[in-house]
Copies of this chain bind each other. A is one copy, B any other.
C-alpha cells in the first residue's frame, strides 16, 4: 500500500503495455509515447471539453519529444460513438498518409477512448494506440484492457474490437477538474474491484474512500493504481472475456438495463447505474442465500459515506418496469444461448459467474428494487 508509480504493466506477451499512474504524468506524455510507440506521426483525438484544459499541455509534451502530430477535436458526449464519426476520424487520419508505425492518442473519457481505439484498430488493419484517460471512470476501467467500440441503434458497444493500447497514461492530477458527480460515478468502478475479488482493497476504501473523492493526491493515485492493477490482472488472465473477465461486469447487467431505460444520458451516468446494479446483484445473491446480509449492509454504509447512489432516481414521468428492464438485458451482448448471465457474490470480494439464474428471481428482485 504505497503511492509509488513504478512498474504497473498489463502482461499480454508481445502486446504487453505499461500503465503509468501518477500525479503529473501528462507532462511527460510525449517521451513516454515515443518510448512505447516509436517516433511515428501521431494523431490526437479529444473532445472540446477536455481540449480546453488538457490539449495544450499534451501538445507541448509531444513537441518536446519531437513527435509530429495532428489533432482531431470532436464534440463531447456519447453522440460521437457511432459509425459516422469513426468513418470521419479514419478518413481524417488517412488524409495524412499514416503508416503502420503511426500512433493515435485518445485524450479524454471513455467515449474518446473507445472511439479512438476502434479507429486505430481498423486503420491499415491496426496502427499504434495510446490512452490518456481524463475521467476517473476511464482511468480505472475503460482505458485498460483493450475493449474499444461504438454504439449502434441496437445498443451500446455492439460494434468494436479487442485492441490493446501501447501505453496508458493516467494522470490523477487531471481529476482535480472533474465535476464531483462524475468523480463519484467513476468511483463506483473502483469499489467494484474490492467487491469482486479483493476484500482487503474494500477495507482500504472504507478508510480512504472519502479522501480519494476529496482530492487527496496520494489516496487518489493509490486507488487508481490498485484498480488498474486489478483490471490488468484479470485481462492478462482472460483478454477476450471467455472466463474470469466476466467478473468485471459485476453490477453491469442490471446497470445496463437502467441505462438503457434512461437513454444513456445525464439522468443516470454509467457509474451511477453500475453502483445501483452492484447493490441489486448483491441483493439477488442474498435472496439466493449466497451472500450474507451483513456484507450488503457494510457496502450500503460505504455507499452512504461516499455519496454513491443505492437506488434508482425518482425522476418525474419515469416509471420503472421490471419487465422492461429484463427486456433491456436481453439485448446485452453478454447473452449466451438465450440465457442472461449474472455475476453474483458470496460476499464482499467473492464474485462469481452464474449462468443459470432464474429470471423469476430477477423479476422479484427488480420489483422490490424499483417497484412503486
Contacts and interface: CB of A to CB of B under 8 A. Distances in A.
A94 B160 contact: no
A349 B149 CA distance: 43
A161 to B, nearest CB: 6
Contacts of A240: 126
A99 interface: yes
Contacts of A12: none
A147 B126 CA distance: 11
B94 A154 contact: yes
A152 B337 contact: no
A65 to B, nearest CB: 18
A1 interface: no
A123 interface: yes
A161 B336 contact: no
Interface string A102-124: 00000000000000001001111
Interface string A326-367: 000011010111000000000000000000000000000000
Count of this chain's copies in the oligomeric assembly: 2
B159 A122 contact: yes
Nearest to A162: B125
Interface stretch (A83-91, A254-262, A307-315): A83-91
Contacts of A148: 125
A330 B96 CA distance: 12
A161 B91 contact: no
Contacts of A304: none
Contact of A333 (B87, B100, B152, B331): B100
A158 interface: yes
A343 to B, nearest CB: 17
A372 interface: no
Contact of A122 (B147, B154, B161): B161
B161 A121 contact: yes
A161 B161 contact: yes
A255 to B, nearest CB: 18
A101 interface: yes
Nearest to A155: B94
Interface residues of A, number: 37
A160 B122 contact: yes
A149 B153 CA distance: 23
A159 B101 CA distance: 15
A353 to B, nearest CB: 14
B336 A90 contact: no
B101 A160 contact: no
Contacts of A152: 90-91, 94
Nearest to A122: B159
Given A87-B83, A335-B99, A94 B125 contact: no
A123 B158 contact: yes
A56 interface: no
Contact of A154 (B91, B99, B100, B121): B91
18 contacts: A83-B87, A90-B159, A91-B152, A91-B153, A91-B154, A94-B159, A97-B331, A97-B335, A99-B335, A100-B333, A118-B122, A122-B122, A122-B149, A122-B159, A124-B159, A125-B149, A125-B160, A125-B161
10 closest A-B pairs by beta carbon, nearest first, are A94-B154, A83-B87, A122-B159, A124-B333, A125-B160, A125-B162, A99-B335, A90-B159, A94-B152, A94-B158
